[in-house]
Amino acid sequence: MTNDIPILKVEGLTVYQGKTTAVRDVSFELLPQTNTAIVGPNGAGKSTLVQAILDLIPRSSGTIEIFGRPITRLRHLRHQLGYMPQNFIFDRSFPISVSELVGLGWVKKGDRGDKGTRGQGGEKSFFHRLWKQDSEKSVAVIEALRRTDAYHLRNQAIGTLSGGQLKRVLLAYCLVIPRRLLILDEAFAGVDVQGAADFYALLNELKQEEGWTVLQISHDIDMVSRHCDRVLCLNQTIVCTGKPEIALSPENLLATYSPLFSRYHHHH
């Protein structure tokens, strides 16, 4: 880690759904280049917490800062935040290829909050800039697909992809421009055990290479204990937080879930 300035800072966050408290007085920080998992039972408020962090739903109280700025004032810095939803819902008959989908995540440098440069020289310069941008985009898409082991899918229609293939393509979408924070809402749902293990390994590899900070929701306690740096145990409010060996102790899991909780260990 390069410094101790939080990438994400949440203080006193409370969110209501109707008259029901979905998330209550949640506070935590994410330091750079860490992989943090949110775990908890169904209905614990995990997805609600993530949606509030992304400013997709209103919060009743509390503050959220990303990259040192209030979430409502991120502006161009929003491009430095990537998000993978639990369910990517789309019309499978829609005629768009993998490369075209990943290309939708590309943003030219001048629109990412960079100063950029203004071209001179009239029409010739204008078309030169268009050509250059298109060339940069193509290179970025190819590189993102190669790094997520999805290059062989580049010309395939997204409606033909398996669940695991689609997850890799969505990760390439997040990788096509530089990001600082990646948020995943049960990104491994619908992926088999080996596919999830491969994806976790790839995610951690890219985290190291790209300097990503990762916040993810997961139901897979075993995978979380193997691959994450920190864990937030959530059941409306934070029950405990810390390194996996501390947060995922039998006592903390019992307090987070219920006496009926049973931990499953993968064998592969």
Nearest to 53 by CA among 76, 28, 86, 89: 28
- Reading the block at residue 103, the tokens are 């290309």
Whether 114 shows a pLDDT value over 70: the answer reads: no
Query: What pLDDT is recorded for position 117?
Result: 43
Average pLDDT of the chain to the nearest whole number: 86
Q: Give the residue-averaged pLDDT of 100-119.
A: 69
**Greater confidence, 110 or 230?**
230
- Separation between Cα atoms, residue 260 and residue 240, nearest integer Å: 19
> What dotted CATH number matches 1-67+180-268?
3.40.50.300
Nearest to 218 by CA among 227, 210, 206, 209: 227
* pLDDT level of residue 115 (50, 70, 90 thresholds): very low
C-beta separation of 1 from 217 below 8 A: no
Please give the backbone phi and psi of residue 201, each rounded to the nearest 5 degrees, phi first.
Answer: -65, -45
Domain residue limits, the chain:
1-67+180-268
Q: Tell me: the pLDDT tens digits for 147-187?
A: 999 999 999 999 999 888 888 999 999 999 999 999 999 87
Query: What pLDDT is recorded for position 164?
Result: 83
Q: Tell me: the pLDDT tens digits for 207-242?
A: 999 999 999 999 889 989 999 999 999 999 999 999
Q: Give the residue-averaged pLDDT of 123-147.
A: 76
- Alpha helices of 96-192 — where are they, by DSSP H? 98-103, 122-147, 163-175
Q: Other CB atoms closer than 10 Å to residue 98's CB: what's the count? A: 26
Query: What pLDDT is recorded for position 1?
Result: 43
DSSP characters over 164-190: HHHHHHHHHHHHSS--SEEEEESTTTT
Burial 82-93 (b: 16+ CB within 10 A, else e): bbbbbebeeeee
Q: How far out from the chain centre does Cα 188 lie?
A: 12
- Reading the block at residue 19, the tokens are 């008259």
* pLDDT level of residue 261 (50, 70, 90 thresholds): low
- Separation between Cα atoms, residue 203 and residue 223, nearest integer Å: 12
Q: Tell me: the pLDDT tens digits for 55-94?
A: 999 999 999 999 999 998 888 888 999 998 877 778 888 8
**Greater confidence, 26 or 196?**
26
Nearest to 185 by CA among 24, 50, 42: 50
C-beta separation of 99 from 145 below 8 A: yes
Angle between helices 122-147 and 163-175 (to 10 degrees): 140
- Reading the block at residue 218, the tokens are 């997961």
- Separation between Cα atoms, residue 231 and residue 88, nearest integer Å: 25
